[in-house]
Chain A
């Protein structure tokens, strides 16, 4: 079975600073990896995904993530945080079919 560990349940950055949200996964098959964002009282929205091919994946709102197989990681980054980035972020791993597992989430706070 797959699993995801998100390091840090809460990350706080200043506006304009680098955002780094960490995700490590475990999978017995080549993984499909995802980052979702959840704004208050909303459902989850896909930020970006890795399936195959290029290991650096660009998503919406200036976010990107790099798949590093040797480190079993899929960290999410954004060069410059904006106030509107404040939300909860979930990393997920899938076997490409019905088994998608989510991390516990990281709440991002952006300070003015």
Chain B
């Protein structure tokens, strides 16, 4: 049972480069999320999706883009990497409902922009 899978685990980017962080879940969850984690700041929501074809901005969307063409996949795109995007990125999924509303997290992608 894979759960939420993120790739890559680590990446170093140069300023101005672009990349896509991959996220896939096999739990048939309709909700998916991208968070970034910075020391002492907790997790901040970047984007979320409530189902295939539907995405929306979270607290800190600037500099990022997402798409959700399938239920399983929710990639996060950085177009012009900046040092401020150095962070650990977590993808999560959930199936909101009365008893099953918690989010399940991937292992994270540690991104450094130099």
Q: Are A98 and B102 in contact (CB under 8 A)?
A: no
Q: A100-B94, A104-B42 are in contact. List 19 more A-B contacts (CB 8 A).
A: A43-B4, A43-B105, A43-B106, A43-B107, A44-B43, A45-B105, A46-B102, A49-B102, A51-B99, A51-B101, A96-B96, A97-B96, A98-B33, A98-B48, A98-B50, A101-B45, A102-B35, A102-B42, A105-B42
Encoded as 1 (CB less than 8 Å from any A CB) or 0, chain B from 1 to 36 comes to 000100000000000000000000000000101010
Which residues, 57 to 114 on B, are CB-close (under 8 Å) to A? Answer: 90, 92, 94, 96, 98-99, 101-108
One digit per residue, 1 when the CB lies within 8 angstroms of any chain A CB and 0 when it does not, for chain B 41-57 equals: 11111001010000010
Count contacts between A and B, CB distance < 8 Å: 58
Chain B: residues with Cβ within 8 Å of the partner, total of 27
A90 at the interface (CB under 8 A from B): yes
- Number of A residues contacting the other chain (C-beta, 8 Å)? 26
* B50–chain A nearest beta-carbon distance, Å: 6
| B105 contacts A9, C-beta separation under 8 Å | no
The interface of chain B, by Cβ under 8 A from chain A, is 4, 31, 33, 35, 40-45, 48, 50, 56, 90, 92, 94, 96, 98-99, 101-108
Contacts of A41 on B, CB cut-off 8 Å? 108
Which residue of A has the minimal Cβ distance to B31? A98
Q: Are B101 and A94 in contact (CB under 8 A)?
A: yes
- Chain A 91-112 per-residue mask, 1 if CB under 8 angstroms from chain B, else 0: 0001011101111110000000
Chain A, residue nearest B108 (CB):
A43
Interchain CB contact (< 8 A) of A100 among B40, B45, B99: B45
Residue from A6, A43, A49, A104 within 8 A of B90 (CB atoms): A43
